Chain A
């Protein structure tokens, strides 16, 4: 998030795209509604009529995979009606002409055809967003999990810059991180192309810095992302896989391929708190401590580094992940040892400029939002004040591109996936909480009643859903939430798993799979 969470409370317009906030980030969902009680107006663009749609001034029930077309059309209206922030464009941005040319053809009428919404609603949304003093865009995986995910994100930046809604308190571009420490994992360099603090592995001076800090020779060749590693392991070039706290058998697209990989990789280590669907394929399983059994920090979606504290002893002989990793390093001949996680944080601070001022003594009472370059720095509530990381904000003209897989005669429905309030990711934790299971006990597919009627399917009937990659039998839940050509399946469940069906096609830049759109056929059973 470029803004802090509580800045939502003081914004005038909140534009939510590709985020089912009240179910997936419930406390932020509550804050959005508090802002609405304070007078903020809400715009929602989503393929499903999510709960927040009823709080919205404008609800755009877009066809999955058409975000860029919608965003271009909003910008077309802004420019057509002269609602852009000319001062901001002149002072803080460059390449405006390219954007202007690119959005020209995206009239509301043109985009309405692509997005399957009304042109008038597009106009209303554009006016509302552009005329706000302070406006916040909130988005999530509905934007990024597309083969055009990077285009979608850049289009969001285009819109925010066009209206000058960036780099101010309560105004910004706010992606919500879906897992407790996705932000921190990225910050810590658990990414193939960057060291901690997003320092590129391909930069010689960065390699030199880390070689000196860690006292080893390092590779400057960028590594592979998770989907690329899956592919490489499937093809046999990766022989040894080490999976810590992940369950790709349920979370990753195209489960049949993942299964093939895990079965065939030479050696697989899985480190987790429960026997997961993935761990079943391991050669060695290492039992890890749960969050309540260890000390450390998580960095939340607003970049706030916060303490995690040990409350109970680990189960059995389980160990904290940091202990396991350190002991294994030592076993392999790398002698560095740490007495506790705060010593690791001190090392992080010494090599990570944005965490430079962070240490446990400063996190005792309240977390700190990075960038926090030194001990005297109080942290940074919102980003891009005065200038962007690259100096001027760069507009990019972006064309709408269809999803990698579009519907046809054989596969006439669009499948989109997501989470529900009562479960989390692959249910390794929530699946073991009785009350949560009582709330949502089994998998289901949301299907429009009109589509169901045509197929002769009633509420609770088992239907067969098939994509080019697999088939699942699943109970139908009839709801107007989805349009007639769309079905939705939560991806939490290993049974009738949505990811047996999903497409592993990647965004060419971010390598994020297109989990939000694939083509499927539905049959009554």
Chain B
């Protein structure tokens, strides 16, 4: 263990802990853009700088491990002034279209500009002017809003490991792209949206099929309904409608999803959903009440059981349904119908 002082408070932290994490442990929040706890910190954005007594310059708290006796100021005047400068530099090349930006309310740049009272950049220089890459059906890439934190590139290359995007060009012209600066749709991108989930600003944003602001939605944690990995995700709900999905950073998926988990939720409120029981009459389906449907089924079941016995029934349960439902389905067939003719699609 290492003993240090942060903002006058004594802190104990394990060897190797970063200043950022040690501060977090006593409730001190340091701003970050490029930091992602799943990745080895690379200190690219510098917004997390802090003052360390005896150090020649401010240090990126996400990369510097704590040492014995260290004295840290996370919000000293020079730290705050530096963060303001960083924000001004970013804003010098960032459109101020928060009014219509998809990410408003869920944007770190917006949050920190508010926190540090930065209204405008005041720095005049060359402006980025990239066309918006709208080629992917699920999300768009607006490089004009990119703050070059590199998170999307690292998530793609080090966690998702698809390697579709990387840095193109050098210096001021550095930008996120694919080889030969073609459109995303011509890359090896698998549309998992993990870069979108990681983007701290509005550069990568989902093409939402319903308009919502982050403060208007409630989130409900659940398990993905596609493959057997069982990814944990938060459904974003507005007005009884699922409007988005965000991955959860915990086992088993650790903040990753695939294209089906991230964007395949749009079937939920599809107009084709079955909304009422249907009974086939003279070859076509007619809407019925639940009681009519249950009565018909129950009558038929009694009839078949009487005439042909319990083994004249076959039940197909479903790997799409919950444990509780599968349990009840086999119980219905075993305990009520009286047969073990119950199976599901495990083999298919």
Name A's B-contacting residues (CB within 8 A).
4-6, 22, 24-28, 30, 33-34, 36-37, 144-145, 176-193, 195-196, 201, 210, 214, 216-219, 221-227, 229, 232-233, 237-246, 248, 251-252, 266-267, 269, 272-275, 279, 282-288, 290-294, 296-302, 304-313, 315-322, 325-329, 331-334, 341, 344-345, 347-348, 366-367, 421-422, 424, 428-430, 432-436, 438-439, 510-513, 515
Contacts and interface: CB of A to CB of B under 8 A. Distances in A.
A309 B293 contact: no
Given A28-B229, A217-B338, 11 more contacts: A183-B228, A184-B323, A185-B317, A186-B344, A192-B343, A221-B311, A246-B345, A252-B348, A317-B290, A328-B297, A430-B264
Contact of B314 (A216, A241, A299): A241
A273 B272 CA distance: 9
Contacts of A6: 251-252, 254
B273 A298 contact: no
Contacts of B165: none
B329 to A, nearest CB: 6
B273 A316 contact: yes
A164 to B, nearest CB: 26
B310 A219 contact: yes
A315 B274 contact: yes
B139 to A, nearest CB: 9
A300 B343 contact: no
Contacts of B322: 181, 184, 294, 296-298, 308, 321-322, 341
7 contacts: A180-B224, A180-B228, A248-B316, A300-B252, A311-B237, A348-B324, A348-B327
A290 B343 CA distance: 21
A193 B347 CA distance: 14
Interface centre among B160, B161, B296 (most CB of A within 10 A): B161
A239 B300 CA distance: 10
A27 B253 contact: yes
A298 B230 contact: yes
B314 A285 contact: no
Taking residues whose C-beta sits less than 8 angstroms from the other chain, chain B's interface range is 35 or more
Contacts of B261: 27
Nearest to B315: A242
B340 A182 contact: no
B148 interface: no
B29 interface: no
The 8 closest A-B pairs by CB, nearest first: A316-B275, A300-B230, A296-B322, A245-B318, A223-B340, A177-B228, A33-B161, A26-B258
Interface string B265-297: 111111011111111100001001010011111
A469 to B, nearest CB: 16
Contacts of A267: 300, 304
B214 interface: no
A274 B273 contact: yes
B341 A282 contact: no
A311 B290 contact: no
A325 B328 contact: yes
Nearest to A301: B228
A243 B328 contact: no
Given A294-B322, A430-B264, A306 B230 contact: yes
A180 B314 contact: no
Given A226-B344, A285-B277, A311-B222, A296 B319 contact: no
Contacts of A306: 223, 230, 232
B308 interface: yes
Contacts of A300: 223, 228-230, 252
Contacts of A238: 311-314, 341
Contact of B268 (A36, A290, A308, A333): A290
B276 A287 contact: yes
Nearest to B240: A312
B346 A185 contact: yes
B73 interface: no
Contacts of A233: 314
B167 interface: no
Contacts of A329: 328, 331-332, 336
A344 B339 CA distance: 21
Contact of A307 (B158, B223, B237, B336): B223
Contacts of A430: 260, 264, 267
Contacts of B343: 190-192, 223-226, 229
B312 A239 contact: yes
A435 B263 contact: yes
Given A30-B161, A284-B293, A332-B298, A240 B313 contact: yes
Contacts of B266: 432-435
DSSP majority for the B interface?
mixed
B259 A273 contact: no
B226 A180 contact: yes
A210 B338 CA distance: 13
A308 B223 contact: yes
B325 A325 contact: yes
Contacts of A176: 227-228
B328 to A, nearest CB: 4
B225 A291 contact: yes
B220 interface: yes
Contact of B348 (A30, A201, A513): A513
A30 B258 CA distance: 10
A240 to B, nearest CB: 5
Nearest to B313: A240
Contacts of B242: 292, 311-312
A214 B304 contact: no
Most B-side CB within 10 Å, residue of A192, A248, A272, A299: A192
Nearest to B194: A30
A311 B333 CA distance: 30
A192 B280 CA distance: 29
A287 B321 contact: no
B119 interface: no
Contacts of A237: 311-312
Give the most central of B277, B280, B320: most A CB within 10 Å. B320
B39 to A, nearest CB: 11
B347 to A, nearest CB: 4
Contacts of A317: 275-277, 290
Contacts of A274: 267, 270, 272-274
B335 interface: yes
B325 A296 contact: yes
Contacts of A434: 137, 266
A433 B297 contact: no
Interface in B54-88: none
A336 B277 CA distance: 23
B279 A284 contact: yes
B225 A37 contact: no
A285 B274 contact: yes
Nearest to A343: B324
A25 B273 contact: no
Contacts of A321: 318, 321-322, 325, 328-329
Interface centre among B137, B224, B251, B321 (most CB of A within 10 A): B321
Contacts of B232: 306
B340 A311 contact: no
